[in-house]
Homo-oligomer: A and B are copies of this chain.
Amino acid sequence: MQQKMTLGQLQAFLAEHFAQVADDFTILEAAPMRLTLRYHTDERHIRPGGTISGPAMFTVADVAVYLAILTMVGPRLLAVTTSCAIDFMRKPAAGRDLIAETRLLKLGRALAVGDVLIFSEGAEPPVARASLTYAIPPD
């Protein structure tokens, strides 16, 4: 399949429609069926023990799969997550950004499935993995 939005178009789409959170994210790569996203963490995300909150990890996985879908189908404001399964495997370090690498495993007319590995910047093994299903509204 062909890519319908470029990295720059995706970043602009975020800024326009998700203004309250767009600055937290930098798209590092947008390719057919694959996308890499950086989440700029800050004090709001730090939790006891010097780690990053679970909701922050959920957030970056959710946004990464959303953007990976838009890359392929074009701007669909109302695509919604219908389910997510996430495993938290290691503690990400406080003070480091999260990097989400996602690939789309299925891109049907109505449903898409993506899986995600989440990394704490600069560390090797992934801190979490997630899989998400999105319902895609008609164009």
Contact = CB atoms under 8 A, between A and B. Distances in A.
A68 B77 CA distance: 33
Contact of A106 (B59, B62, B89, B115): B89
Interface in A58-106: 58-59, 62, 77-78, 80-91, 105-106
Give the number of times this chain occurs in the complex, counting copies.
Answer: 4
A82 B54 CA distance: 9
Contact of A105 (B49, B86, B129): B129
A48 B78 contact: yes
Contacts of A59: 55
B89 A86 contact: no
Contact of A81 (B18, B54, B90): B54
Nearest to A115: B129
Contacts of A125: 105-106
A91 B44 CA distance: 26
Contacts of A54: 58, 62, 80-81, 84
A80 B111 CA distance: 14
